[in-house]
Chain A
């Protein structure tokens, strides 16, 4: 124990001594070392600035644009019956599934927004009309140049709208002026309401200028959305920077959104007799294998499955159901149910094309219709009371699902390819897609990586020059101090200590240069960030916030660069110093220039 303590005590003494000598040597060759450290400091300065710039770009896109446009995770339902539109019919159910399955949720926000054309005073432009909920953080986060955001709710002839100042200027309008916004409702109806400008937001970014904000409930009505409907659901998490966690949560949500069969608890009537029944749709147009599945599982007492394929307004009843309403082949059947969002019942007429034996795991009173019948009413009017059947039920796969799930996409490329492939397909029904902002904007991440790579390459070139400088400086130093090395070795200095002196010289120099470089970097960022540059509609304005270059320095990036530079300097110094340490004492003492 005493020996160990003695060893450590001697090492500490030795390190203190070598550090002292190293520092003294740095001071002895002050001018040469200042030049070398200036080179390293410039390299570090460039790294700090570029890393902060690319982080700033990512911060703008992810945390100032995308988070408002799509949230960190977005659930979209693409519906195609007679027209194609993005709409979630049962927002409450989807929100419940999200809350139960995604960890660390900050908020789940229904997306009520639309793109359209905005008409001002003789000028027109594009607009992204965003519906803002009364309790949204928007009111805390948004500072207005004039007006008050809460004026959106003041009763007036026209509902209020908040616009960015630059956009209003382009439309030749100002406070209290009216603008007309034209867009389409979710059903494709033309829409052109007028809004009164109740507030102007200072323009910060060209991309944000396109947005204009109105009361969410007003916009919901204008889009012809019912109270329980939304265009999409945006999930804001508490861990936006953790891409892996966000993606893992999206994958988990995807599994939780597995669809059931589209089913309706309806009232079927024939003449004066009526009965309650579970009604499902058969996917008869989808594939022949599914047709086989249906044939194998439905035992026809009257009629056949081909009759339903031919007669798209046909209906197959189980025998108990047919008996209860006195229906047989050819009987006209009235079908009625109450939709989720309306008290007005949905009515449809069918003709009986088949009577089958009851099917196990289905209710005794069950009816099956052609999928085309559900495309007419089901998706636009999902039922208040759905009929449910277990996924283990026979021929479950032949039933029209509530929705289909799209595969998760790992990046923007894959998402684009997926959408292109889907666009080529002929389909009807509803499809659910779970997206994260990381795959939606993987291009941004790639751009950030690219910018970082360019800066790293530039700095590597700079380091190569520094490397030559360090090696050259050390060689000169070793050469000039060869006799000194010999003297130190002769009076008992060990080889390791000789090596340590040279290595510490360079490490001290690198640490000092990095500190100076970091300070320089912050100085330059503050200077560049203070310049006001108005790029107007130039795409480069996306790199700016409030007409100023935006830098977002992160401790991780700075410490990482710091460690790399010091480590590289250490490695270079170590191998060069080894030569000095290996010198024989007699040769070193004999050395003469």
Chain B
């Protein structure tokens, strides 16, 4: 009995640091990618409520379709009335903006804002997080990662920092908080090229849908222009196959008839 207790104690002494050691940032990045990796067609509805001290509150609603086969997507605007019927279609490398009023398609870049919201067309691309960011290192050359608790419920999280691997990402530096058990992102601070904190984002109401965790409520707070916030509510998420005809210009045109 004593021998067994001593054995357990010795075992803990040897293996303990390994069991309790922090994960590497690269591991966390891999976990995030695994959870966000979309491996099927998607249909979802999104409602974005933007609050601006100067311009008041604006609500934008849209329907999002994604085809996994070629990573195409279609966003059809449902609200407000001025945007209804407009759409953003990406097939292959080309992204198009369809305007219902003029019935014309314009070739757009990934920086194009979606329906006047802060979201841009590029945000809907499924580039892997690990292809965009790498672990940030401190002055001693070590990865910046620590254990913390977050919120009133004192949720145990890992806080870590990443920097951009490529030039064309909106925020060159991110600080992120992910849960220790499932590596679900709860909070993110996004920093500008100059190092200024630009945005603080909160991800809540996680729901498990077909083995994947999706934050149904996301809040984006502008840290430069105080008082500006955007609230993204996701609903009607389905991973069922989306018909091919939806990823065709003629489908968008037919919606305005």
Contacts and interface: CB of A to CB of B under 8 A. Distances in A.
Interface string B72-111: 0000000000000000000001100000000011111111
Given A182-B224, A224-B193, A426-B94, A188 B111 contact: yes
Contacts of B194: 191-193, 222
A424 B249 CA distance: 13
B111 A119 contact: no
A475 interface: no
A191 B105 CA distance: 30
A306 to B, nearest CB: 19
B225 A190 contact: no
Interface string B232-250: 0000000000000000000
B109 A191 contact: no
A189 B198 contact: no
A380 interface: yes
Contact of B193 (A119, A124, A190, A380): A190
A222 B107 contact: no
Interface stretch (B10-18, B146-154, B164-172): B164-172
A190 B192 contact: yes
A189 B224 contact: no
A153 interface: no
B110 A83 contact: yes
Nearest to A82: B168
A137 interface: no
A119 B169 CA distance: 23
Interface in A180-206: 180, 182, 184-185, 187-194
Contacts of A82: 110, 168
A423 interface: yes
B89 to A, nearest CB: 12
Interface in B160-190: 164, 167-172, 190
A84 B192 CA distance: 20
Nearest to A423: B106
A117 interface: yes
Contact of B168 (A83, A119, A194, A426): A83
A428 B94 CA distance: 10
A124 B190 contact: no
Contacts of B138: none
B167 A380 contact: yes
B54 interface: yes
Interface residues of A, number: 28
A84 B109 contact: yes
Interface in B95-129: 104-111, 122
Nearest to A123: B54
A80 interface: yes
A392 interface: no
- The B interface is mostly helix, strand or loop, or mixed, namely loop
B111 A189 contact: no
Interface residues of B, number: 27
Contact of A192 (B104, B110, B164, B192): B192
Contacts of B168: 82-83, 187-189
A141 interface: no
A310 to B, nearest CB: 15
Nearest to B223: A192
B224 A180 contact: yes
Contacts of B109: 80, 83-84
A242 interface: no
Given A119-B224, A224-B193, A189 B106 contact: no
A124 B104 CA distance: 34
A222 B225 contact: no
A129 to B, nearest CB: 13
A344 interface: no
B196 interface: yes
Given A119-B224, A124-B54, A380-B167, A189 B107 contact: no
Contacts of A182: 192, 198, 224-225
Contacts of A426: 93-94, 107
A446 interface: no
A424 B190 contact: no
A425 interface: yes
A194 B196 contact: yes
Nearest to A420: B106
A190 B190 contact: yes
Contacts of B193: 185, 189-191, 222, 224
B225 A119 contact: yes
A423 B108 CA distance: 7
Contacts of A191: 192-194
Contacts of A188: 110-111, 122, 168-170
B56 to A, nearest CB: 15
A84 B164 CA distance: 19
Interface of A: 80, 82-84, 117, 119, 124, 180, 182, 184-185, 187-194, 222, 224, 380, 423-428
Given A192-B198, A193-B192, A424-B107, 14 more contacts: A82-B110, A82-B168, A83-B168, A117-B225, A184-B111, A187-B167, A187-B168, A190-B190, A192-B194, A224-B193, A423-B106, A424-B105, A424-B106, A426-B107
Interface of B: 54, 93-94, 104-111, 122, 164, 167-172, 190, 192-194, 196, 198, 224-225
26 contacts: A83-B110, A83-B168, A84-B111, A182-B192, A182-B224, A182-B225, A188-B111, A188-B122, A188-B170, A189-B164, A189-B167, A189-B168, A189-B170, A189-B193, A190-B171, A190-B192, A190-B193, A191-B193, A192-B194, A193-B192, A194-B196, A224-B193, A423-B106, A424-B105, A424-B106, A424-B107
